[in-house]
Amino acid sequence: MSALSGYGRFSEPALLVSVSLLEGAKHGHAIVADVEQFAGRRLGPGTLYGAIGRLERLGLVQALPGDGRRKPYRLTDTGLAEVQRVLDEMGTLAAHGQLRLRRLGTAPA
């Protein structure tokens, strides 16, 4: 099982947070705004920091010094590799799914 898939409730938010951090270090408010913009999903504070907590514990994300209330987070090298791996897996799955959908569309009714 991959690190990102091992969160139960936080697996999808963790991936959204990780993808957001691919752009660079961000604090909570910026992550929420970014995820809302690219995924159309607003993360609540509990979901967001639940996911960040798990990512941090697994060493995939690291907190940077901040002013306490607005602490930026960034992906670690391990986190970057893990996001890359998960996105590759998702890409393969999406490609297979699209191929089968196309076959389904050309199949005689």
Partner 1 sequence: MSRLLRLFPRTWRASYGSEVADMLASSGRPWRDRADLVHAAAAVRGHQLVDALSERTDATMRYLRAAGLGLVVLGLVGGFWATPRLADGIVEIPLHWWSMLAVLPLVGGIVLLAAAWWLGRGRGGPLARS
Residues that bind partner 1 (CB under 8 A): 7-10, 27-29, 32, 44-50, 52-54, 56, 63, 68-71
Report the C-alpha gap between 50 and 55 in whole angstroms.
9
Q: CB of 85: closest distance to partner 1 in angstroms?
A: 22
Residue 10 or 86: the one with the smaller Cβ distance to partner 1 is 10
Q: How far is the CB of 31 from partner 1 (least distance, A)?
A: 10
Task: Name the minimum Å distance from CB 58 to partner 1.
Answer: 11
Taking the least distance from each CB to partner 1, the nearer of 67 and 101 is 67
Show the beta-strand stretches assigned E in 1-109.
Answer: 61-63, 73-75
* Intra-chain end-to-end CA distance of the chain, in Å: 39
Please identify, using beta-carbon distances, which residue of 40 and 68 lies nearer to partner 1: 68
Cα 15–Cα 16–Cα 20 angle in degrees, nearest 5: 115
For the four alpha carbons of 43, 31, 60 and 65, in that order, the dihedral sign comes to negative
33 or 94, CB closer to partner 1?
33
Minimum CB distance to partner 1, residue 22 (Å): 21
Distance, C-alpha 51 to centroid of its chain: 9
